[in-house]
Amino acid sequence: MANSAPPKNSLVSVQNLSFSRGKKKIFDDISLEFERGKITAIMGPSGTGKTTLLKLIGGQLFPEQGTVIVDGNNVHRLRRAELYDLRKRMGMLFQSGALLTDMNVFDNVAFPLREHTHLPESMIRTLVLMKLQAVGLRGARQLMPNELSGGMARRIALARAIALDPMMIMYDEPFTGQDPISKGALVQLIQSLNNILGLTSIIVSHDVQETAAIADYIYVLSEGKIVGQGTPKEIEQSPSEWVQQFMNGAPDGPVHFHYPAKDYVDDLLSTGKRY
Amino acid sequence: MTEFLQQLGKNTHTSFTKLGRASFFLLQTLSGILSVLARPRLLLNQLYSVGVLSFLIITISGLFVGMVLGLQGYYILSDFGAEETLGVMVAASLVRELGPVVSALLFAGRAGSALTAEIGLMKATEQLSGMEMMAVDPIKRIISPRFLAGLLSMPLLAALFSAIGIIGGQLVGSGLLGVDEGAYWSQMQSNLDFKDDIINGVIKSIVFGFVTSWIALFEGYDAIPTSEGVSRATTRTVVNSAFTILGLDFILTALMFGDN
């Protein structure tokens, strides 16, 4: 396993976390650190619980054991009002964008401002236009979510996520299903927002190239465990078979191509069964 | 036998768990109502989509139900030479029973299913999750305004249904079948009691509005976030609302009119 020491100056710290869905163990005693001002990526095959991890960090799910510390607060010990106060400082970009479909682009970006501040409409307008300008979609303010392409929806959701000037943003599969131009735009946006606004970014993704290009530190997850961690360079040179299979996209390896099943020949020869 | 008992136990457990979730959901919804009153605009928008948009179906159905009551009532009453009391029969049937019950069933089909589908899809497209992550409580922002709108709309829609129905009965009774118009209205006025008939009808419709909105919103909120899940939840809303409305109607009628 490639190993540089995990970052020390953490904004988010996940310690000895375990979580199951039904009988399936999603995380088995994992610990991760997310350094302030940096872009940290969590990578791994589909179904490894990357999105679940973001929901655990955001306090939407409760772990079986372990703690999640965000800016000194134990997320799962906070009272509801305190958790909501913390969430105002945590932006999250959902895979689907999660825009409110009954509002246009402007109102979507203005939504958190209207809900949490008592700013006059003129100031909200200025702020919304600034956020939309940052993602290059100031001209699309009157469109409804169903009139946006997937890439545009994600950029609008990003504008909404930074509306309250959060300390961190969690990106859930930001590049999935995007055309190369949108991917490029998002890569640039994530990096520039991180640098200009001094954000801490957590990216959950299985898009190797894009993520490795902007991440400062990468964790590779598989089957509930951390199978590799380090800078993108260290991950690239990792001797771990898991990491190599994932980074190179090999169809078979430690993560098997076949779903577990009984012997193929026995299965074909057993008659009298419907399945 | 063991399997049967296992299945029975499992189903009972699932039902009670769901009932527990639904009760908790209701408590949360009720506790969000104060914040809705502080933002009346949220309520007004929902009153429009839940209440005003149900006007047409309620009006047309009320008119036809009243007309049918006028026809059937006339045929029966005229056998006894009592067609003058047609107004009482039509109005009592509507105000006591058909107004609250049929408008609640229509409300469950029109507004209830729409609420379930809307909330279920908001869940499936992560809009509710997104709101939570923006530190906005979806119960207060989305659910409570819709619940209050349903609760307020239902008695008004039931009253509209009954009023239009009574006019429909009069159109058929007096217009087509020759019942004296004066007798139609005056018999109705003198024989219908404000408390026993009208207030009891209003109480029924408030109860139906409460349970229908609760069921519709809970089914949406509790739906499995897939297309099939939302479709099943929408069906459950209509079916469960219908059962609940009819069952509660029997209980309420027995309680309200039992002494007469």
Domain layout of chain B by residue ranges:
49-253
Which residues of chain B make contact with A84, given a CB cutoff of 8 A?
135, 137
Distance CA B152, CA B209 (A): 8
* Three-state secondary structure call for residue A168: strand
Q: For chain A, what's the residue count? A: 275
Q: Do A112 and B129 touch (CB under 8 A)?
A: no
Q: What is the residue type of B207?
A: V
Task: Please answer whether residues B163 and B77 qualify as being in contact, where contact means their C-beta atoms are separated by less than 8 angstroms.
Answer: no
pLDDT in tens, B95-114: 999 999 999 999 999 999 99
Q: Do B133 and A58 touch (CB under 8 A)?
A: yes
Which residues of chain A make contact with B127, given a CB cutoff of 8 A?
98-101
Phi and psi (nearest 5°) for A267? Answer: -65, -40
Task: Please answer whether residues A58 and A87 qualify as being in contact, where contact means their C-beta atoms are separated by less than 8 angstroms.
Answer: yes
Distance from CA of A197 to the nearest CA of B (A): 19
pLDDT by residue, tens only, chain A of 275 residues: 444 555 568 889 999 999 998 888 888 889 999 999 999 999 887 778 888 899 999 999 999 999 999 998 899 999 989 999 999 999 899 888 889 998 999 999 999 999 999 899 999 999 999 999 988 889 999 999 999 988 889 889 999 998 988 999 999 988 888 888 888 888 888 888 888 888 899 999 888 888 888 999 999 888 888 888 888 888 888 778 777 887 777 777 777 777 778 888 888 888 777 77
What is the pLDDT at residue A6? 55
Distance from CA of A242 to the nearest CA of B (A): 31
Residue A73, exposed/middle/buried by CB under 10 A (0-12, 13-18, 19+)?
A: middle
Distance CA A221, CA A1 (A): 12
Residue-by-residue DSSP string for A177-211: T--HHHHHHHHHHHHHHHHHTT-EEEEEE--HHHH
Distance CA A169, CA A154 (A): 13
pLDDT in tens, B58-76: 999 999 999 999 999 999 9
Phi and psi (nearest 5°) for B163? Answer: -65, -45
Which residues of chain A make contact with B125, given a CB cutoff of 8 A?
96, 98, 101
Is residue B244 pLDDT above 70, yes or no?
yes
Distance CA B132, CA B116 (A): 19
Residue located via tokens 């099939």: B228
Distance from CA of A142 to the nearest CA of B (A): 20
DSSP class of residue A136 equals T
Q: Do A98 and B141 touch (CB under 8 A)?
A: no
DSSP class of residue A254 equals S
Is residue B257 pLDDT above 80, yes or no?
no
Q: What tokens were used for A225?
A: 């465990």
Q: What tokens were used for A144?
A: 């409804």
When CB atoms are compared, the residue of B125, B130, B135 closest to A88 is: B135
What is the pLDDT at residue B154? 95
Phi and psi (nearest 5°) for A23? Answer: -95, -10
Distance CA A136, CA A126 (A): 15
In chain B, % of residues over pLDDT 90:
79
Q: Do A101 and B135 touch (CB under 8 A)?
A: no
Instruction: Tell which of A54, A73, A92, A148 to mutate to test the B interface (max B CBs under 10 Å).
Output: A92
What is the pLDDT at residue A8? 67
Task: Please answer whether residues A186 and A151 qualify as being in contact, where contact means their C-beta atoms are separated by less than 8 angstroms.
Answer: yes
What is the pLDDT at residue A258? 76
Q: Do A84 and B137 touch (CB under 8 A)?
A: yes
For residue B130, count other CB atoms closer than 10 A to its CB: 25
Distance from CA of B9 to the nearest CA of A (A): 19
Phi and psi (nearest 5°) for B29? Answer: -65, -45
Neighbouring residues of A20: CB distance < 8 A, sequence distance ≥ 6 = A26, A64
Q: Do A60 and B129 touch (CB under 8 A)?
A: yes
Is residue B126 pLDDT above 50, yes or no?
yes
What is the pLDDT at residue A2? 42
When CB atoms are compared, the residue of A60, A99, A157 closest to B132 is: A60
E strand intervals along chain A: 10-21, 24-35, 39-43, 65-70, 73-74, 90-93, 168-172, 200-205, 217-222, 225-230
Give bridge partners of residue B157 from the DSSP assignment.
none
Q: What tokens were used for A66?
A: 């372990």
The pTM for the full model equals: 0.85
ipTM: 0.81
Distance CA B253, CA B240 (A): 20
Average of per-residue pLDDT across B216-237: 94
Distance CA A227, CA A45 (A): 12
Which residues of chain A make contact with B137, given a CB cutoff of 8 A?
84
Q: Do A94 and B126 touch (CB under 8 A)?
A: yes
Neighbouring residues of B155: CB distance < 8 A, sequence distance ≥ 6 = B202, B205, B206, B209
* Three-state secondary structure call for residue A96: coil
Split at pLDDT 50, 70, 90, the class of B84 is confident
Considering only alpha carbons, which residue of chain B is nearest residue A170?
Answer: B133
What is the pLDDT at residue A1? 42
When CB atoms are compared, the residue of B126, B135, B137 closest to A98 is: B126
What is the pLDDT at residue A182? 81
Distance CA A68, CA A16 (A): 9
Task: Please answer whether residues B221 and B143 qualify as being in contact, where contact means their C-beta atoms are separated by less than 8 angstroms.
Answer: yes
Give the dihedral of Cα atoms A63, B134, B50, B256; nearest 10 deg: 50
Q: Do A60 and B133 touch (CB under 8 A)?
A: yes
